[in-house]
Structure 1
Amino acid sequence: MDWDLLGLTFIAVFLSELGDKSQVAAIALSGSSKSPQAVFFGTAGALVLASFLGVLAGDAVAELLPTQILKGLAALGFAFIALRLLWQDDR
């Protein structure tokens, strides 16, 4: 097992999940629930399943498309998002 990759993945997911809406929902559920352990295992299981499905989908796409095309599509996607953010109408 690649321990460096495992650690990097853990840190990336941990930091990206801090303070998102699922964490706020888990806090609200655990505060109003009589079983905070069930809330913990439910939210942890959901995160693991969502990550697992993302890895499977990413692996399937990587098998179908060459790496250069994937990188190009990702770059175009990020550029599109950046341009929309720059020129969005602030209402």
Structure 2
Amino acid sequence: MEQAFLISTGAVALAEIGDKTQLLSLVLAARYRKPVPIMLGVLVATLANHACAGAIGAWLGALITPGIMRWALGVSFVVMGLWILVPDKLDPDEANVSRSHLGVFGTTIVTFFLAEMGDKTQIATVALAARFHDFFGVVAGTTLGMMLANVPAILLGERFAHKLPTKAVHALAAVLFVVLGALAFIRGGV
């Protein structure tokens, strides 16, 4: 469990830097200026989203033969590494966070959950859960990784986002995923 947790935490924390959901965190923080309900909303949305992704990954891990899984994971990690190098932009519809009857907490849960659908970190959670066969370790790790990247963005807002060397962080995350892919090819897994 420890290996699954640590790799999942690091991979997702790095992948989330500059990601559209991190940008959404900045938008929510600037719009509402209430960091605690925003952080709690991000936590709840991430747990729900990554629990679903982890369940799919665990199911795929049990369904697919080890040989096919090795190749699928190797390719998916390499593709994920390359995808991380493509900068994310927040769609205008996602950035248009209006005041609703849901309140700050509810609005954060809904918008963050929807923005995370099909996102890099959600797909990484599927792949990590399939690889490690450790649903709880992966979901806990990917959720912690999301919080490590998003809480500072929420607390420090725009000032924090512009000072982070996003290209360097993306390059490091890309290398990490490519190494995970290479290890899957070479050793049959990480």
TM-score (norm 1): 0.69
The alpha-carbon deviation at position 74 of structure 1 amounts to: 4.5
What amino acid sits opposite 2:49 in the alignment?
A
Partner of 1:46: 45
Distance 2:70 2:7 in 1: 20
| Residues 1:21 and 1:37: Cα distance change in structure 2 (over 3 Å) | same
Return 5+ residue gaps in structure 2 as ranges. Answer: 83-190
**Structure 1: runs of 5+ lacking an equivalent:** 83-91
Tell me the amino acid that sits aligned with residue 56 of structure 1: A
**In the TM superposition, what is the alpha-carbon distance from 1:38 to its structure 2 partner?**
1.2
The structure whose Rg is larger is: 1
Q: Which has the higher contact order (CA 8 A, sep 6+)?
A: 2
Amino acid of the structure 1 residue aligned with 2:37: A
CA distance in structure 1 between the aligned counterparts of 2:72 and 2:7, rounded to whole angstroms: 23
* 1:4 partner amino acid: Q
Q: CA–CA distance in 1 between the matches of 2:12 and 2:72? A: 22
Provide Cα deviations, 1:7-62, integer angstroms capped at 9, x if missing partner: 22111111111110111111111111042211111112222222221111011111
Aligned positions, number: 79
In the aligned structure 2, how far is the partner of 1:51 from the partner of 1:43? 12
Partner residue in 2 for 1:86: none
Normalization by structure 2: what TM-score?
A: 0.36
Instruction: Give the match for residue 65 of structure 2.
Output: 66
